[in-house]
Structure 1
Amino acid sequence: MPETMASNRAERTQEKSQNDDLTSGSISNNIELEAADGGAEAADPSAEFKPDRRFWLALAPILVLAAMVSLDGTAVTVALPIMANDLGGTAIEAFWTGTSFLLSSAVLQLPTASWSGIFGRMPVLVACSFLFLIGVIVASVAKDFGTVFAGRVIQGVGGGGIILLNDIVVTDLVPMRQRGKYFGIVGGVWAFGSVCGPVIGGALAYEASWRGIFWMLIPFAAIVLVLIPIFLRLSKPPGSVIDKLRQFDWLGSLVFVGAATCTLMPLTWGGVQYEWDQWQTLFPLLLGIAVLFAFGIYESYVPKEPIITMSLLRSYEMLYSLLSGIINAAIVYGSLYFLPLYFEAVQGYSPIISGVALFPATFTLAPMSMVAGTVISKRGEYRWVTWFGWILSTIGLGVMTLLDVDTTIAEWFFLTIFMGIGQGLLYTSLAIINQAAAPDKLMSHAISMFIFSRMLGQALGVALSGLIFQNQMRSNLLATTTLADKAVEYSRDASSIVSFLHDMPDDMKKKELVQAYADSLKIVWAVMCALSGAAMIGSFFVKHISLDREHETEQGIHQEGSDE
């Protein structure tokens, strides 16, 4: 993070030395690794941290941004069928409208973190919020899917930056020991918005207009564009604009954006627009993975200010946070995709009622995220929360394999609640593991890697779940007496079967199709249970890293009278 170009080189030399210590299990001066069986805790350097009025005013736009982007992310997905019908679009166009936001937000994570370190958090956050607002306006007035797609891409660029910078700003404002509490608050707002999104989006789309979803977001974006410059006054990195432009890793950013796009696009269209074994899926996927490896080598040796610090990956705790972040997001978003389909296809609920039926699994996310953050801040220990979260998640996904055609309301309520509790605890604890494993000077790099891993998990979760469902559905339908000839057609898309089922008469064919649907989802839950179990086992090897360390940041709240 820039002070002067000379100090940057000195810091990178020191960081390399510190990261070499990671190999042997410790980071000198910045991170104190303690034995898992305990030891005397150091005095808490953050004990004097007392949030004042300026702190809460600075946090206010962060909370508004979290609510805005989380609402958008889940509300629009529910409205896609209505949008397709109103605009005369195809299923593929609707698919890309939903996917474009994820792709554009994910591929710019690392470059955005670097921009914020060079130019400052506040101006980059304002730019991202402005782009999000422009995207909302474009999508709200669209007359065709091409315009909606363009709006969603612009929204994704802004929204991805907002997601990342929300976390980075919290680390700038709050010492490590106290950070869990405030991550829990921001995560709670995010989870609450994600839960309310399908209900609000469904109500607006089906009862009023899908455009109302975008109109609803405009006041949020307008408010934060006023609040951020007034209240989020952080110290600015020194240096001229020319010097800052020279610091940015332009080549590395272009390579990463291209490689990430090549990797994520086939993961999203596989099994939907193209089959998984077609060259249109395999070629860009393999190319993207290969270029990502080349990107890692380039970042390790060439740029003076890389957008990713590869030496961070020498730490087991860092690697675990990234891999478990992928699994965590895959489980949450895979469940959010397929649980509503279970309620619509198997239980026969409407889209709005299905959104309400998700509450046991989703409304537990926000309070559990805040509980996890509070416990971590008070105890200075994140491993127990992580262990408990993965244990509950694994048990919850295991019992979800009992969801069937004749499952009652009381039964599915209790069968889905444990997964939500476990994943809510993990939302905060995994983020703290990620940050505890990084020196303060590399914190934005660690966070950008973690956020990208979660976005990769979103894509993998839906893709993997969809692939498992397709294969199992095809197998189940081939075993039926009335639907064997339709096995390939009906197994192609889990969501398209829902509307087809609602129009079918209550005969043997419908009964067999519904049962095949429920049985296929059981395998999806079983695979998620296995992934959760693997992450749970991995968590037992995570070492305790003391959270009691001095808070070092170059972009804290601007002090009146300072030179910056």
Structure 2
Amino acid sequence: MVAGTQDCAESPQVNTQGHVHTHEEPSTPFNPSKGFYLAFLVLTVLAMMVSLDGTSVSVALPIIANTLDCSTMETFWIGTGFLLSSATILLPLGALSIAFGRVPILVICACCFLVGIIVSGFAQGASAMLTGRIVQGVGGGGLILLNDIVITDLVPLSQRGNYFGIIGSVWALGSVSGPVIGGALAHKASWLTDYSACHAALVVEVDCDTWNVQRAAKKVRLCRELPLCLLCGSSAHTYYMRRYRVLLTLLPLVLGLAGLAGFCSWQIGHAKEPILRLGLLRSYNMGYSLFATMINALIVYGALYFLPLYYEAVKEYTPVLAGVSLFPATFTVAPLSIITGCIVTKTQDYRVLTFIGWFTTTLGLGLVCLLDVDTSVVQWVFLSLVPGIGLGILYTSLSFVNQAASTDTDMAYTVTLFVFFRTLGQCVGVAIGSAIFQNRMFENLRGSSFTSSEASNLARDAVRLVEHIKTLAKGDEKAVLVEAFVRSLQVVWAAMCGMAGLALIGSAFLKNIPLRASHHTDQALACAD
């Protein structure tokens, strides 16, 4: 018997209305072995490693911008490049893990992650830094994806709440401590030290218990689809260029959209082993889970990247103190993730918690809009505390919405789509947030004592402006710049609040799909009885 797995005679089926019906035979209880706990420990280490790296750069952006002489857009691309490369590589990695197994892909992703760290650590210019971050993103995205897929391989759906809650809490802990560690290294030593820290990746042996000729043939069919999947990813390869290079900006955008259209057309009409299982979207719960996790990730990374700007530019905190100031918004995520997982495991109900999570998040983002120049410490602590509670609930509950709407057979594809949309949301959150922030900075500065030309230059270098504001003496110029920062950030919070409101409305229409106690997987923990 393979440890960590349970089989059922018949997997749940999804009808044309998207409802899942289960016909389960009695199955043996889920009894984790020592090997399972060791494997799970490895997954928590991977989650901590990637979350630390993904968030440690946020408070160091002003220092990086000044060191590498980056504009506002180029600076945010250091964060966006990591997330964008993570998103574009997820679909082919998910397919490769199905064809070749989890372990080889996990090792390759860990190597890419390490190479990216080395390149970023020794970067002396914006181009080298962005290149390193993109390579890091490829590895980090794969590690995040394989982390979730392996858990679904090892744990029945009805029992996953406890384990997803722990993984979510570890991820949240890394996200909380990342800005503090990154700020400390960037402020006290050098921002390069932030990337030169040694990361160790552990690998768990996951074996396949149904290796046969059909599975070998699936390798060939899936590999044949990968070039088209990578072509689909080309739609995200439009980098920031100067506005006068219109052709160089539009050409990759048009080619990317054409590649995306061609990929979808092939997947729908010709692919024998499609990487993109569009049939999964027949269920409302499935479609909602993908939309909601994208909005959730958008808000989380928007807060991680833009709240530090408020603390550093408006409150004039150091990078370390700015990282600590994120605690009210992020420190609640870890305990709420665990609590939510335990509640869902006990009650088998995830709909109410999803609604509560979105209601709290929407309310909290509305409160964050009240952050102003004169907001006291006690006020901003409580204002930023509320959205963190909602985001912690959603991190775990949305995973149940997604996986309950799928069959065990399609679970790897389902998790791949879920992680893809979550990573896409992280990328969009930074990209859209930076665009809104930069445009509003220009409008706010132009409406004050600055000319249009001066406002344009200041808005383009707004992140670098943070360090300059700290050196200014109190006066009209400093007051105008700080006020512009506050008003621009308020528009960012308002936009996120509106998106959370849409997700809140959508959560009211979720269907009650039961959590299966039975479990079947063809990739399980290799462990002797």
TM-score by length of 1: 0.85
Total equivalences in the alignment: 518
Q: Is the 8 A contact 1:120 1:236 kept in 2?
A: no
Pair 1:248 & 2:229 matched: no
Partner of 2:20: 27
For the residue of structure 2 that corresponds to 1:556, the secondary structure is: strand
C-alpha distance in 1, partners of 2:528/2:463?
A: 56
1:132-531 alignment to 2 at 5 Å? 132-142=113-123, 147-218=128-199, 220-221=200-201, 224=202, 228-229=203-204, 232-235=205-208, 238-239=211-212, 243=217, 245-250=219-224, 252-263=225-236, 265-266=237-238, 269=240, 273-275=241-243, 278=246, 280-285=248-253, 287-481=255-449, 486-531=454-499
Q: Deviations over 1:195-215 (max 9, x none)?
A: 111111111122123343334
Paired residue type of 2:31: K
Q: Deviations over 1:69-119 (max 9, x none)?
A: 111111234445545666x56447655544432232221101111111111
1:329 deviates by: 1.1
Q: CA RMSD in A?
A: 2.8
Q: Is the 8 A contact 1:119 1:237 kept in 2?
A: no
For the residue of structure 1 that corresponds to 2:410, the secondary structure is: helix
1:465 deviates by: 1.8
Q: 1:466 to 1:63 in 2, by over 3 A?
A: same
Q: Is the 8 A contact 1:109 1:161 kept in 2?
A: yes
C-alpha distance in 1, partners of 2:490/2:66?
A: 31
Q: Is the 8 A contact 1:326 1:457 kept in 2?
A: yes
C-alpha distance in 2, partners of 1:286/1:237?
A: 43
C-alpha distance in 2, partners of 1:519/1:276?
A: 29
1:143 deviates by: 5.5
Paired residue type of 2:83: L
For the residue of structure 2 that corresponds to 1:234, the secondary structure is: strand
Larger mean Cα displacement after TM superposition, 480-489 or 515-524: 480-489
C-alpha distance in 2, partners of 1:526/1:444?
A: 35
1:57 deviates by: 0.9
Q: Is the 8 A contact 1:328 1:423 kept in 2?
A: yes
Q: Which protein, 1 or 2, shows the higher relative CO under an 8 Å CA cutoff with sep ≥ 6?
A: 2
1:469 deviates by: 2.2
Pair 1:538 & 2:506 matched: yes
1:56 deviates by: 0.4
Gaps of 5+ in 1: 1-13, 31-41
Q: 1:28 to 1:296 in 2, by over 3 A?
A: farther
Paired residue type of 2:40: L
Q: 1:215 to 1:53 in 2, by over 3 A?
A: same
1:144 deviates by: 5.4
C-alpha distance in 2, partners of 1:469/1:140?
A: 28
C-alpha distance in 2, partners of 1:276/1:142?
A: 28
Q: 1:277 to 1:191 in 2, by over 3 A?
A: farther
Larger mean Cα displacement after TM superposition, 511-520 or 59-68: 511-520
Partner of 2:101: 120
Paired residue type of 1:376: V
1:237 deviates by: 5.0
Larger mean Cα displacement after TM superposition, 77-86 or 46-55: 77-86
Q: 1:473 to 1:213 in 2, by over 3 A?
A: closer
Q: Is the 8 A contact 1:318 1:433 kept in 2?
A: yes
Identical columns (%) = 46
For the residue of structure 2 that corresponds to 1:304, the secondary structure is: coil
Pair 1:106 & 2:83 matched: no
Paired residue type of 1:255: L
C-alpha distance in 1, partners of 2:83/2:321?
A: 26
Q: 24, 29, 32: which one pairs with 1:48?
A: 29
Paired residue type of 1:113: G
Q: Is the 8 A contact 2:117 2:136 kept in 1?
A: yes
Larger mean Cα displacement after TM superposition, 350-359 or 278-287: 278-287
Gaps of 5+ in 2: 1-9
Q: Is the 8 A contact 1:395 1:418 kept in 2?
A: yes
Paired residue type of 1:206: H
Larger mean Cα displacement after TM superposition, 124-133 or 64-73: 124-133
Q: Deviations over 1:394-453 (max 9, x none)?
A: 000001111000000000000001111101111111111111111111111111111111
Q: 1:340 to 1:275 in 2, by over 3 A?
A: farther
